[in-house]
Structure formats: structure tokens, C-alpha cells
Amino acid sequence: MHMKQMNRTNPVIMDYYDRKVIEMIMDKYGIPEFEAIDRFLSSQTHEWLEDRECGMYYFNEMAIFEMWEVEMITGDARNAPCLREDAE
């Protein structure tokens, strides 16, 4: 079986988003750094951010945090207002 290899987002960009979003998770939820790291790095939102072809790096860190938070609440980051066509 041949699987498509992911075209990864630049590591410098990933480091920026990882640091910012993990800090926001810790600040809002009062959880330890390692738990925040685990929650973000294991999320679908982070997977999309890692995949350069998804273009998630065009969103600011607040939008990425919002996507992650919506994913944690609803199970699907696509429910985030910044990704929904019907959101105003």
C-alpha cells in the first residue's frame, strides 16, 4: 500500500505556533505544560497545521487556538467559526 507523504510546514513556523498555542492552553485551562503539549500535539488541528498543503499557517495563533478548542469541545475543528462558511 502506497501512502502519500505529508508536505510538512516549515519547522520554524511550527515551533512558533506550538509555543503560542500551548501557552494559550496553559493560561486558559491552568494545566501543566506537558499536558498542554500532549493535548495540542495529538490533536487533528495540529495535524492539519503540520500539513503544509492544508494552509493552516495562514491563520493567526488565536484562530489556531480557537480551532483546537472547538475540536476539544465538539470533536471536530471544522466547527470553528473561522472555518465555517455560515459564520458571520
Range of the domain at 43: 11-83
Q: Is residue 1 part of a domain?
A: no
Q: pTM value?
A: 0.87
What confidence tens digit (pLDDT) does each residue in 35-82 have? 999 999 999 999 999 999 999 999 999 999 999 999 999 999 999 998
> Would you state the cell numbers that stand for residue 20, as one nine-digit string?
503560542
- The count of domains in the chain is 1
Q: Is residue 75 part of a domain?
A: yes
In the predicted structure, residue 22 carries a pLDDT above the cut 80: yes
Phi (first) and psi of residue 49, to 5 degrees:
-65, -40
Q: Is residue 59 part of a domain?
A: yes
Q: Which among 48, 88, 43 is positioned nearest to 68, based on CA atoms?
A: 43
